[in-house]
Structure 1
Amino acid sequence: MGSPHDAPTTDDAMAAMHPPEQPRLDAGNKHHDHYARRLPKWRNALRNRLIPIVRWETPWLALMQDKVRSPALDTYFAYTANLGTHTFFMVFLPIQFWCGYTSVGRATVFMLATGVYLTGFLKDMVCLPRPLSPPLARISMSGSAALEYGFPSSHSANAVSVAFYAVYTIRQTPEAYHPYVWVGLQGLFYFYALSIIFGRLYCGMHGFLDVGVGSVLGALITTFYLVFNDWMESWIFSGSYTDIFLATLVVCVMIRINPEPADDCPCFDDSVSFLGVVIGINLGAWHFAQTSLALNYPIPSTVPFDLEKMGLIKATVRIVLGVTVILFWRASAKSALLKGLPPLFRLLEQARLNLPRVYFLNASKYTSIPTLRDDDNLIPPASELPNRLMNLAHPRKRSVSIGPQSAADAYETLAYRNRRRRESLSSLDGVVPEGAMWEPSPRSQSKPQTPALEKAEPQLLGASLLPTPIQSRAHSYEQMMGTGHVDKNASTPPDSDTDAAGDTVLFSQMLTNEENETEKRELFMKLMKPRVRYDVEVVTKLIVYSGIAWIAVEGNPLLFELLGLGMP
């Protein structure tokens, strides 16, 4: 699960998961460039090409956020961001299969799984941070979203792929709709995609590069599916054991080649879960299509369903029962696997047949797995559903934060601070006087200062002549970059151009190595510590979500027939 040459050393991974009693930095922090040390040269070179784009767009994103932000929009985009999450789609996917929309369900699974995998693959490969906070405020109802890398946006890929597929489907049958409804539905899906994309920018969770590449990926995924769908479906439903085995093997290989990230990023977990869904749906549909209960129209494995003949009460009972069975499977299978797999993994480890992955603890290093919290971003346990619903009722209580939230944020904050210091030294011939203002670009010293500029913009002394108030405002936001401390309690838009985290960008001298280490330590100690992740979790997620998908497409339809909840 990840190429060996991409992985940091075992000592690094163990140090990250089990810090000693005296706080110290991760081993990677001791190097002048964390990513140069942990990434292969070609991946680090690619990252270095893209990181200036993230830094350039951050002050402009902050300017946009400041211009349009309001409490009402905060609430709207915090809520609607959930419509682009994996969880939202996972909730409704099984219902599509039980209500006879098998072709739509299979298309949605393929596009979402491909989007989640490709965006997660690129996130772990390039390791680009999200735009810096401050100057941006991050608005999110997901506690795990900020822990992921920023490039590219999974929300944008999901929303665009689903919207494009829905629009394509609607346009194929214009005679089935009233003309106004036909136009209105297309407009609704376009608005949905644009709302999700702009919402990621508004919420400070992504930059233009992130949503742009994510949107292009979403469009390409839909195009690929529409072109090759018939061939893929004929392969799956051929009835051959060899074909379904090869399809499963391809998915397992995709999991194996996912790159190792430089930081403890949860992107890989979502990829494993969705690829598990693909395995389960293919196996379940392949087998269910061969039974006498399945319909072959519009595609094989379609569950018979007619609401008029079945009745609303019976259809509702099917859905409630189906969801209950899925939640029961998730709870029981997960518990059994987390207890039963570690001994097997220890045997594989002794035989050197295990496939270690960085930031996942090997089975030989632990005796048992404690109860895991917040370990699943797709389907939460039934016991947590009331809390999730309560959070939806009060989105602003924990939705806005200012300051670094992840290791990637912290490294970028430190890197930007160091860049500002180097540029200040360069612009002042190696001398940094008391109270000097950091200069974002060495070439800005090439233009002479004017008395008018000093009167109008005293905070920009030493900066280039900024011809417009917009550029001046963007420059003030740039001065906030790299100054953040963790602040989880901010809940209102900033009232002025001052640093929202309470810091300034004034430094009186270059920091010594010891002071540098202290600065890093203080920043990292304020971050939320990632929990220990166990090697068996990868296989556990794969089996659990394969089972969920099998239950959705075959297990529950068979149960419905057994209990008299099938078509009369």
Structure 2
Amino acid sequence: MNSNFQHKENGSAAADCSGPRYEVRNKIFYFLFLLSAAMGHEVFYITCLPCIHWNLDPFLCRRLVNMWTVVMYIGQVMKDLLKLPRPLSPPVVKLEMRVDAEYGLPSTHAMAATAISFTLLLSAPSRIQFQFEVGLLIAVTLSSLVGLSRLYTGMHSVLDVISGVLISALLLFLTYPFWETFDHLQLHSIFSPLVALSLPLFLSYTYPELDHYSTTRGDTTTILGAGAGCSVGYWVNQQLGQTFEPQGVLPVPLPALTADALARGVARFLVGVAAVVGTRQVVSTFSLKMLHSWYGVEKGDSSARRRREIEVPYKFITYTSVGLVNSIVANRLFVLLGLL
């Protein structure tokens, strides 16, 4: 990373306060790895993962969400239990300061990228006809780019990234034999909605406490809430007999990329993103107002949302709603608008 950046020091107090400044020497690497790093951020999870549900197969999205939730929770908890620091800056240049207060090992970006890429690779052959070698190449490339991006952005060490990949691979290996069983229970058990809501909420409230504020608890609650909402939504769809999954003999061929199919796919993406982002904004605003009123928090107290009694319920309610909209409402909007 250091070969692509140059520190610019002037010895002033302002420079010390703002941290090391830098100039980009290789714009191709800079934008490639920033884009790769974005695959581990909320904007990717709230747009691209649901897009698999809307435009490919809800079954595949369900598998991805389930594994993503498990892997990310374990990774986040490990960070705050091990308490191993991120690389020091200087000598590295850190490009993402929002999560700098988090601990380093393991890299949850690397964990998520590995889990998402290889869960899709392992699940897709039973649903879609494609060349496995091509899928494997894509999975390795995407997960490698995300892992390398964590080194480039200065947020993780090589050990952090390798640990994240290995932990994720171990979780995939241990859980893979039970995916079918869990899928059946998730869709058919009468207890599925209760477990899907109560267990993630319990895990959010019992998340390990730190001696300083970190974004890990809030981000973990976001992930658990989204997973809970999606799980309940998939159960509801199954009970209604409207799963919106491909019908007929499986695996089915990949849909032809015609102009009409592309236009419909783009339209579904735009409508779906508008629905989930709109839900996120409305529910988060409303839930925060209700919680601030309940706990007597002043309107302008922006730090109040860091308190457990506010952060956990507001994020859980918000992203459970997002998960429900993604899994239940979006496809019905597509039917109403003639996009399916």
Give TM-score scaled by structure 1 length.
0.50
1:262 corresponds to 2:211: yes
Superposed displacement of residue 280, structure 1: 0.5
Structure 1: distance between partners of 2:268 and 2:139: 28
Cα deviation 1:364-409 (Å, max 9, x = unaligned): 5x33355x6xxxxxxxxxxxxxxxxxxxxxxxxxxxxxxxxxxxxx
Unpaired stretches in structure 2, ≥5 consecutive residues: 6-24, 249-253
Structure 1: distance between partners of 2:259 and 2:156: 47
Structure 2: distance between partners of 1:108 and 1:192: 15
Partner of 1:154: 108
Rate the CA distance shift 1:531–1:315 in 2: closer, same or farther, 3 A.
Answer: same
Rate the CA distance shift 1:318–1:195 in 2: closer, same or farther, 3 A.
Answer: closer
Rate the CA distance shift 1:559–1:158 in 2: closer, same or farther, 3 A.
Answer: same
Structure 2: distance between partners of 1:317 and 1:66: 42
Superposed displacement of residue 71, structure 1: 2.2
1:227 corresponds to 2:1: no
Superposed displacement of residue 284, structure 1: 1.0
1:118 corresponds to 2:93: no
Cα deviation 1:56-109 (Å, max 9, x = unaligned): xxxxxxxxx445765243343233221233431321122222224112111221
Rate the CA distance shift 1:367–1:152 in 2: closer, same or farther, 3 A.
Answer: same
Partner of 2:85: 129
1:339 corresponds to 2:289: yes
Structure 2: distance between partners of 1:103 and 1:341: 35
Unpaired stretches in structure 1, ≥5 consecutive residues: 1-64, 300-304, 345-362, 373-529
Partner of 1:543: 317
Partner of 2:332: 558
Partner of 1:368: 299
How many residues align? The count is 313
Partner of 1:533: 306
Superposed displacement of residue 309, structure 1: 12
Structure 2: distance between partners of 1:164 and 1:136: 30
Give the structure, 1 or 2, with the largest relative contact order (CA under 8 Å, sep 6 or more): 1
Superposed displacement of residue 343, structure 1: 3.8
Select the structure of larger CA radius of gyration. 1
Structure with the higher helix share, 1 or 2: 2
Structure 1: distance between partners of 2:259 and 2:241: 20
Alignment RMSD? 3.1
Q: Which amino acid aligns with 1:127?
A: K
Cα deviation 1:436-474 (Å, max 9, x = unaligned): xxxxxxxxxxxxxxxxxxxxxxxxxxxxxxxxxxxxxxx
Structure 2: distance between partners of 1:288 and 1:76: 38
Partner of 2:220: 271
- Look up the SS of the partner of 1:145 in the other structure: coil
Structure 2: distance between partners of 1:322 and 1:133: 40
Q: Which amino acid aligns with 1:215?
A: V
Q: Which amino acid aligns with 2:188?
A: S
Residue 235 of structure 2 is aligned with which of 281, 286, 290?
A: 286
- Look up the SS of the partner of 2:327 in the other structure: helix
| 8 Å contact from structure 2 (residues 205, 312) kept in 1 | no
Rate the CA distance shift 1:184–1:231 in 2: closer, same or farther, 3 A.
Answer: closer
Q: Where do residues 121-200 of structure 1 align in structure 2 (5 Å cutoff)?
A: 121-138=77-94, 140=95, 142-169=96-123, 172=125, 176-177=129-130, 182-200=132-150
Rate the CA distance shift 1:94–1:66 in 2: closer, same or farther, 3 A.
Answer: closer
Structure 2: distance between partners of 1:542 and 1:210: 28
Cα deviation 1:142-197 (Å, max 9, x = unaligned): 34132321121011101111222244346x47x944xxx64343223212222222
1:71 corresponds to 2:26: yes
Cα deviation 1:185-240 (Å, max 9, x = unaligned): 32232122222223322332111331122111211232244221111111111251
Q: Which amino acid aligns with 1:80?
A: S
Structure 1: distance between partners of 2:181 and 2:4: 47
Q: Which amino acid aligns with 1:148?
A: E
Structure 2: distance between partners of 1:163 and 1:306: 20
Structure 2: distance between partners of 1:326 and 1:176: 30
Structure 1: distance between partners of 2:31 and 2:153: 10
Residue 202 of structure 1 is aligned with which of 152, 156, 167?
A: 152
Q: Which amino acid aligns with 2:116?
A: V
Q: Percent identity?
A: 22
Rate the CA distance shift 1:92–1:298 in 2: closer, same or farther, 3 A.
Answer: farther
Partner of 2:266: 316
Partner of 1:424: none
1:97 corresponds to 2:53: yes
